[in-house]
A and B are shown apart, each in its own frame.
Chain A
Amino acid sequence: MGTRRKKLNENGVGLYVHLPFCKSKCRYCDFNSYAWTGQSLQSYVDALLIEAEQRIKGLKPQTVFFGGGTPTFLPADLLSQLLEELNRICGFRASSLETTMEANPESVNEERILAILAGGVNRLSIGIQSLQADVLEAYDRVHSPDQARQALALAQQHFQNFSADLIFAFPGQDPERWRLDLAEVLNFAPNHISCYELSYEPGTALTRLRDVGRWNAEDPDLCEYLFKQTGEQCSAAGYQRYEISNFCQPDHQCLHNLAAWQSFDFIGIGAGAASSMAGTRRHNIERPDAYQAVIENGGDPLSREERPNAETVLFEHMLMGMRLTQQGVSRQRAKRQTGLDPWQEYRDQLVDLGQQGLIHADGDLDQICVTPRGALLLDHILMQFLPSASV
């Protein structure tokens, strides 16, 4: 556990880099990711670098996050090239407090790890999801439990700072089996761990299976039980739940995401990447082939852009900030960032939610934060802040 480096700056910018390819597509996955079908990875990286030249020259981001897809799907030499060139373009090695790359067990090996370490990545986030062979198979994951263990061991060996992703609430999951999975992963002493409840996003294979009755629907009572058990287990191991689904050792939050949950600016490059800069939301074209084609023709891969009004910006500020179960939303910072005062906009709701014991809210305090019970009902809480559409 190293001591904490510098603090995030409210006016700093995060950089997100999207690498959309995976070995195959997992059933629950609704990311902008694609099973690789042989297209040139070099061409994608080339396009990405052209976009970088156009949009992030000299950016000096305070955090960097390589997400996917599976960034480690790229071969080591291509990863080195990408990191080298990006650094030349935006100077992240000097400026970034934390440079994370996502990885999946089947593609993590020493060669790639050495390449990205040399390229400036100082945090690895590995998608483990489960250590049960049958569960991994049901999700259509392409790695075995043993590959996952090896990946964790490699990360532990090479990274000062690494994280693991897990999914719980597989239909009918035995809480004890989940506890053992989580314990085994915690044994590798990751600095950070994300535990997501399996979710059924629109359009995924899993949701379709469930809707046609070939996959058991979620059981709300089991989900709740596992959510709580997970919190207790992590806490006993010295990890704090700092966000709904994220736990860390003291001072090891994922800075890049922490910035986003606080609505700091970020800029995303690559297929489908989102940006939020000075009040403007931007999304890139999602399909990698279309994204590449536009760039190759000298164009901007912009798909859509919007400037939400102040009310919407404040709502989104709450939507993101209330996820931070320990720090919540700061009234003063919300005012600075959105121009609106949550205590003015949502007074009645805040008082009401406070009385119901779902949030700690006090007009005299700067902080608006969920209680443990409120954390479980966050969507319900947020809905209270939505402007009720006119009848």
Chain B
Amino acid sequence: MTKNFPPERIRNFSIIAHIDHGKSTLADRFLEITGAVDMRKKQAQMLDSMDLERERGITIKAAAVSLTHVINGEEYLLNLIDTPGHVDFAYEVEKSLQACEGALLLIDAAQGIQAQTVANAMLAMDQDMVVIPVFNKMDLPHARPDEIKDELENTLLLDRDSAIECSAKTGAGITDVLEAIVEQIGPPEGDPNKPLRALIFDAKYDEYRGIVVYLRMVDGKLNKGDWIHMIGAEADYEAIEIGKFMPKPVPHQHLCVGEVGYLISNIKRLEDVRVGDTVTVMKGQRAELLVGYREPQPMVWCGIYPTNSGDFENLRAALKALKLNDSSIIFDPESSDALGFGFRCGFLGLLHMEIVQERLEREGGIDIVQTAPTVPYEVIMNDGTIKVIHSPGELPDPVMFTEIREPVVTVHILVPTESIGPIMKLCTERRGVFMRQEHLSASRVMLTWDMPLSEIIYDFYDRLKSGTKGYGTMNFDEPHFEVGNLVKLRILVNGIEADALSLICHADSSQRRGRAVLQKLLKEIPRHQFQIPLQAAVGGKIMARENIRALSKNVTAKCYGGDITRKRKLLEKQKEGKKRMKSIGNVEVPQKAFLAVLATDD
């Protein structure tokens, strides 16, 4: 099917929700019902096409697909974007919404409204789009739609009767949802007679065909063979192939107003494609740039280094290729005594960091070492200028600055009423400042706290979960900076200061953090031929110390005639493992040790 649809027969929408509320499963039902997939080839969460997504059972990247469906005798083109629910990927949701006129706000009928339900709903409402609440998982015996209707009214000010009930598992109610989409969400606006304007909302690198550009058509028409112009990047290309995702790419002759599709132009220069840029035609009237995407603000930073120093350029190439597909990553070259040349990279959260690291290793085929993640800090220099630092190593000499400001965020925490006590205690311990408490329904409240980002980015979420029997969720917005009593905790390995292990923390917790980091290093750094003292210090003051005892025994107990080859291979493997370590002075440190800062003291 390669025909085009007039705008009034097109609906563009995203499915948004809290994590695991069933977005990708609902998308599966849509794909089935509309006959977009061969029933024999179907699998669960079909749009989660990355290996990492399938392994972890979560959506990481928004995925677009075009469906056709007949309602009241009319055939419609439905462009849907399945978005991720995890808080680290909120930027993906934001970008997706910009390519749509409406959103399905999916709510797990048993769990009810959760932190990212609120956050994502707000994103959609801020853009004045139609939000259709859909209660999913109605098949669950403990579904509680009536209570959730209260939450819907109290929290999101949405009409309790607007909710559609369905089960993405059994398929019940799915056609009602499709009908609501066509009825309630407006057709795309755009002028077919104006010059071409299309928004680049995603891209990926294909080894054989060059960059595949994902487009949302706004004005005009794109024809196969047209010469196109990327306005921001100032690059020109021929549209060698255009088409739509149905869900496999299907070539088309044209893409028209409101449609969503792809463009292949054998583009090999990564710089020429920027997500958020506008595509127009090369000749003719000049078109105006569409409103692009906001630059997201990274929440955590860490150093990423190649395990083999010879891989530095390969790492740069891999980061560039990844940035094309994930525009939220930021990276700049840096160097470290222990690790050589690498990059300081910014991420939207720890999960994002972990995913990027895995993608670099898998898609880029590079072994990497990663240093302790840190939040950014503002350092107010003696002359009043502000220096933003993204690693403890960048902190200037204390005589050079007057204060350090740390990022503080407003956190919304949704919890059952009975867990208010423990959560209030947790937030206080983490230097939080209480703002307010609102009731969502009889049994649930939303607590709002201002908290230092560094206190919540690591294990706060786990603690929140355990303090609420799994029912607590949280969300926070972009940070502002506030003065804090912050110090640099230096970590010394065998007397040598290791910047890659150091961290910035609150003075009051420096001893606690120091001990925790050393405990972790004690576990991760293997014994050497000599004893290794470990110290954590603030300035010249030692806050904690430990010793890694000397290795005095390392011998295979059993080795007989039949084992020779196997024993040799074991030794080779051991040696290979050593080679992958990094040295601080004469101490070999395995990659895992660089994450010691994540160690908690409980």
| A residues adjacent to B (C-beta < 8 A) | 14, 16, 196-199, 220-221, 223-224, 227, 244-245, 257, 260, 266, 268, 272-274, 276, 281, 306, 308, 312, 315-316, 319-320, 323, 356, 373, 375-380, 382-383, 386, 388-389, 391
- Does the CB pair A274–B562 fall under 8 Å? yes
- Does the CB pair B553–A376 fall under 8 Å? yes
Chain B: CB-nearest residue to A273: B562
CA distance A287 to B565 in the complex (A): 19
Known contacts A197-B557, A319-B567; A224 and B562 CB within 8 A of each other: no
Min CB–CB distance B602 → chain A (angstroms): 18
Chain A: CB-nearest residue to B565: A281
- Does the CB pair A379–B310 fall under 8 Å? no
Residues of B within 8 A of A272 (CB): 562
Min CB–CB distance B547 → chain A (angstroms): 13
Residues of A within 8 A of B556 (CB): 199, 244, 378-379
- Does the CB pair A260–B553 fall under 8 Å? no
Chain B contacts with A in 349-401, Cβ cutoff 8 A: none
CA distance A245 to B553 in the complex (A): 13
Known contacts A223-B553, A378-B554; A388 and B562 CB within 8 A of each other: no
Of B98-106, B431-439, B574-582, B585-593, the segment with at least 4 beta carbons within 8 Å of chain A is: B574-582
Min CB–CB distance A234 → chain B (angstroms): 15
Partner of B557, one of A244, A274, A316, A320: A244
- Does the CB pair A391–B555 fall under 8 Å? no
CA distance A308 to B568 in the complex (A): 12
- Does the CB pair A388–B527 fall under 8 Å? no
Known contacts A276-B564, A376-B552, A379-B554; A388 and B575 CB within 8 A of each other: yes
Interface centre among B552, B557, B563, B565 (most CB of A within 10 A): B557
- Does the CB pair B561–A14 fall under 8 Å? yes
Chain A: CB-nearest residue to B311: A391
Partner of B561, one of A245, A276, A308: A276
Chain B: CB-nearest residue to A197: B557
SS of A interface (majority): mixed
Known contacts A386-B571, A389-B576, A391-B310; A319 and B564 CB within 8 A of each other: yes
CA distance A197 to B579 in the complex (A): 27
* Interface size class, chain B: 20 to 34
Residues of B within 8 A of A196 (CB): 557-558
Partner of B574, one of A16, A199, A383: A383
Known contacts A14-B561, A244-B557; A377 and B552 CB within 8 A of each other: yes
- Does the CB pair B571–A388 fall under 8 Å? no
CA distance A380 to B578 in the complex (A): 11
A-B contact count (CB 8 A): 98
| B residues adjacent to A (C-beta < 8 A) | 308, 310, 527, 529, 549, 551-565, 567-568, 571-572, 574-576, 578-579
Min CB–CB distance B551 → chain A (angstroms): 7
Known contacts A268-B562, A388-B579; A379 and B557 CB within 8 A of each other: no
Residues of B within 8 A of A245 (CB): 557-558
Min CB–CB distance A264 → chain B (angstroms): 9
- Does the CB pair A320–B564 fall under 8 Å? yes
Known contacts A274-B562, A389-B579; A380 and B554 CB within 8 A of each other: yes
Residues of A within 8 A of B529 (CB): 356, 377, 380
CA distance A370 to B554 in the complex (A): 13
Q: A274-B562, A320-B559, A380-B529 are in contact. List 5 more A-B contacts (CB 8 A).
A: A16-B562, A221-B549, A266-B561, A323-B559, A377-B552
In the A-B complex, the 5 residue pairs with the smallest Cβ-Cβ separation, listed nearest first, are: A260-B561, A274-B562, A378-B555, A224-B553, A376-B553
CA distance A382 to B559 in the complex (A): 13
- Does the CB pair A257–B555 fall under 8 Å? no
Partner of A376, one of B308, B555, B562, B579: B555
Residues of A within 8 A of B559 (CB): 244, 319-320, 323
Interface pairs (30), CB distance under 8 Å: A16-B562, A199-B556, A199-B558, A224-B552, A227-B553, A244-B556, A245-B557, A257-B561, A260-B561, A268-B561, A273-B562, A274-B561, A274-B565, A308-B565, A312-B568, A315-B568, A319-B559, A319-B564, A319-B568, A320-B559, A375-B555, A378-B555, A379-B571, A379-B574, A382-B571, A383-B571, A383-B574, A388-B575, A389-B572, A389-B579
